[in-house]
Amino acid sequence: MHDTNSPDEITERLLTIIGGLGPRLHQPGLDASTLRALAEGASKDLHDVANPPTDGPLFAQADSLIDDLLSDYVKRQAAAVANSGIVGVRTGFDHLDETLNGFEPGKLYMLAAMPGTGKTTLALQWAATVAQAGQSALYTSLENDATDLARKTACRLGDVSYAAALKGKLSRQEWATAVDKLRKLQGRLYLSTPRTTMPTLTSLVEGIMTRTGAAPALIVVDYLQAMVKRQATGTQASDVRERIDRFTPELRAIGEQYECAVLAISSQNRAGYAGGGMAAMKESGDIEYNSDAVLTLSKLDDKEIKERAYDITQDPRTIPLKLVVEKNRQGMTGRPIALLLDGDHCMVEEDR
């Protein structure tokens, strides 16, 4: 068997890391932020060399896992009793929760959608639902401002117009009532929207644990491709697919380490969207293989709207969507879930 920890291989990896830094450090016009990013990238690579993954046993006898199965069942039964029959944290959508068993601790979930389909609205709503239920949630985004994410959450909770809130057209009492609904989350919804430095998810989770004594029940990454591009430096920036293939197992490892569910949003290609499903996921790499469940969110086409007998003139601001569980490693995929996106009130509801 090839020894991946042999002195020669370790030396080769160290020389590659150090040699790769040289040309980048001599590029003209490097600012402090870029230098820090280079240092963070090199630090991670050196950490991987110093802490190589260890292989577990080549096999296990099934009956040797009986104790693990019994203890796991006790945990699942207690969680289901406390959570009305669902083991993971609830999304607020009954059919989805039944299909997935909620967002389970230690599992990686992927939500794929094209721009403009309401994926941020939906994922933010799920995070707030977790906070409303009494557990903390972390929502990290590279495209949104924390104040605006809080504003959108207040609009949904208070059932007021986002456009009116932006334009100052609500009465002070209306807005105060909506903001008071946000206050009732009691600090359990954490928003991270880095603009210059790029904190690691581990540091964010550890920060929340320092405050609350527990890891968040749900971590949302909005969105996957943007995060790996922000973390990339130099020539790494061009190989997004490879970095995604490396990053998704890291997300799963974080979920397992801190016993929390991780939901990553993935963008979809317009060119490949006609086929739908996981095939349209942008720079998908091994996303579908590394994830425990993959969900796709899409707008209905004219034929689907007709089949659903939805009257789009009823409220032109409301957009009919469908959410499909394309893959579920631990259960059924289930039928498409009919949703309605009310963008102005920053909410998504099941179309019953």
pLDDT tens per residue across span 15-55: 777 877 777 677 777 777 677 767 767 776 787 777 766 66
Q: Give percent above pLDDT 90 in the chain.
A: 58
- Specify if 325 maps to a domain: yes
pLDDT range class, residue 201, cuts 50, 70, 90 = very high
Length of the chain, please? Answer: 352
Q: Report the side by side order of strands in the sheet with 189-192.
A: 189-192, 137-141, 218-222, 261-267, 108-113, 293-299, 318-328, 337-342, 347-350
Q: Do 161 and 35 lie in a common domain?
A: no
- For residue 222, give the amino acid letter: D
252 and 140 inside one domain: yes
pLDDT-wise least confident of 25-34, 150-159, 170-179, 181-190: 25-34
Residue 46 and residue 103 share a domain: no
Task: Looking at the structure, tell me whether residues 49 and 90 fall in a common domain.
Answer: no
Mean pLDDT, rounded, for 322-350: 93
Confidence of residue 2 (pLDDT cuts 50, 70, 90): very low
Tell me, yes or no, whether 45 and 147 share the same domain: no
DSSP state of 64: G
- Are 17 and 132 members of one domain? no
The per-residue pLDDT of the chain, averaged, comes to 86
User: Does some domain include residue 230?
Assistant: yes
Q: Are residues 18 and 128 in the same domain?
A: no
Q: How many domains is the chain partitioned into structurally?
A: 2
pLDDT for the residue numbered 235: 52
Residue 68 placed within a domain = no
Measure the CA–CA gap between 140 and 265, rounded to whole angstroms: 11
Domain carrying residue 105: 85-350
Does residue 245 or residue 93 have the better pLDDT? 93
pLDDT digits (tens, 9 = 90+) for 129-154: 999 999 999 999 998 999 999 999 99
In terms of domains, do 115 and 167 share one?
Answer: yes
CATH code of residue 147: 3.40.50.300
**How sure is the predictor about 192, in pLDDT bands with cuts at 50, 70 and 90?**
very high
The verdict on residue 90 lying in a domain is: yes
Residue 319 shares a structural domain with residue 188: yes
- Is 115 in the same domain as 37? no
CB 162 within 8 A of CB 155: yes
> Would 59 be classed as within a structural domain?
no
- 180 lies in the same domain as 224: yes
295 and 147, same structural domain?
A: yes
pTM summary value: 0.80
The answer on pLDDT for 276 being more than 60 is no
Report the C-alpha gap between 148 and 142 in whole angstroms.
13
Determine the pLDDT at residue 307. Answer: 83
Q: Is the pLDDT of residue 264 over 70?
A: yes
